[in-house]
Amino acid sequence: MRADAFARAVNLTAVDVPGFTPSAKDREAESPTEQGLQRRLDRCMGAAGGLGVSGGGAHSSPSFTRRGRVLDETVSSSVGFAPTAADAAGELRLLRSARAQGCLASYLDLLFKGKRYGGGAIQRVSIAQGTPPAPGTSGGFGWRITAAVNVHGLSAPFYVDILGFVYGPAEVTLLSSGALIPFPAHAEEQLFRLLVARARAHPL
C-alpha cells in the first residue's frame, strides 16, 4: 500500500541517529485504564482521525535511546493517516488550539497519577505550545511537556517534546525526551527537517 511505503520512507532509522540504540522489544500494550484515558482525550478534543497527540501513529519507528551516566535521551517518529487531506487539516487546527492544550494537560495529569519513572513519582506536569516551521506542508505543531520526577525527596526535571506536521492526509510526528535537560535542540531540529524533506520527496 502507498501509505505503508510512505511511512517506511519517512520514519527514522538507526542510520539517522548514530550513537542511539533501538529498543529491543515492541512498545508495551496499553492497559485498559490507559485505553479509557485515550478515549476520554479523544472525546475532549473531538478527534475523529486518531492523529497526533490524540491517537498515536499507526506506523512507528523503533524507540532509539542514548544512555549516559546521568542523562538519558530517547527519540522516535510515527506516521498516522486521516481519511482525507481535509480531515488531516482539521486535526492540525485542533492540535494548535487552546482547547487541545487543556485536554492534553488533563490527560497527562490522570495518566501520570500514581505512576513512577526511574523509581520516582511524576509531579508538576506543564505544557508549552509552539509552531515549528514545516515548509512545503500543511503546517506544523509542537508541544513541550515538562515534569518533575521526585526520588527520595529530590526533584529532577524530565522533558518530552512532540513536534509534528501534516502533509496531505498524513501526519508525521517526532517524539523526543531527555532527563535533567531537554533533548538537544539542534539535533531535534535536524531530525524534524529530515522528516519534512522525506515526506515531500514521497507524495501520497
pLDDT of amino acid 57: 45
pTM equals 0.84
Q: Where are the domains of the chain?
A: 2-201
> What are the phi and psi torsion angles at 68 (to 5°)?
-120, 180
pLDDT of amino acid 56: 43
Q: Which fold, 2-201?
A: Protein Transport Mog1p; Chain A (3.40.1000)
pLDDT digits (tens, 9 = 90+) for 109-119: 777 765 655 55
pLDDT of amino acid 115: 60
pLDDT of amino acid 48: 46
pLDDT of amino acid 203: 80
d(CA 95, CA 163): 11
For 198, the grid coordinates are: 522525506
- Residues lower than pLDDT 50 in the chain: 25-26, 48-57
d(CA 201, CA 8): 13
